Amino acid sequence: MRVLFLGDIVGRTARNDVIEQLPLLRDELALDFIVVNCENAAGGFGITPKICDALFAAGADVLTTGNHVWDKKEIIDYIASEPRLLRPLNMAEGTPGKGIVQVTNAAGKRLVAVNLMTNLFMAENDPVFPALNDALVRNKLGRDADFILIDVHGEATSEKMALGHYADGRASLVVGTHTHVPTADHRVLAGGTAYQTDAGMCGDYDSVIGMDKGLAIDRFLGRGNSRLSVALGPITLSGVIVETGETGLATSIYPLRRGGVLSPA
């Protein structure tokens, strides 16, 4: 199987680019599934039902999120009724929506996607390691899924790496989101799980993590408290492509970078 994961969409221009490119990428790369982190797709903060519907129509099979999932309140009712839009699994019990979903494609292949949020330097959530273990006990490669994808939304690289090794041999892919910067450590771990600390963002990299660099610099210098706005330059699509064998474990992982100012991959 071959699965594409795209990192956090930041803003309107990026989401329009993703929507335009998804059908082309599916055909060009012969993809079985596409998973996209969409939590910043609505003006850089949150996600709306209309945007989710457009991403699904373009070919996304599952949408993941993170700490900005509730920035647009209209998403609360939508996420309660749309299982393909995930929020972090380890949010408090009773939170609307789900953190895990299984989808099946036309060929009968099954993908289980899990959305988690780390604990270090993030808003308070339930402990992430037990949540990950429970998800992998309940969903096993071969028995319940042909591909298991885990989006680890978090700040600390050490915590993401530890989660990757903790899941090694039990998941097809563990990939980080949230920092909006693609890391260069994509590899297949010893037990057969593909891993990358952060997939990066789909957005303008001539910026500060997708936001207008001038406004961001002013904030660091204490020269203003104006609300950050999305940078409007050329977009780079950033993510990873993972191939698996019959066991559901990874045989390869490749970075995907297209457009904008980053070197292509």
Would the CA dihedral through 28, 29, 30, 36 be positive or negative? negative
Catalytic residues: 68
In one-letter notation, the amino acid at residue 155 is: E
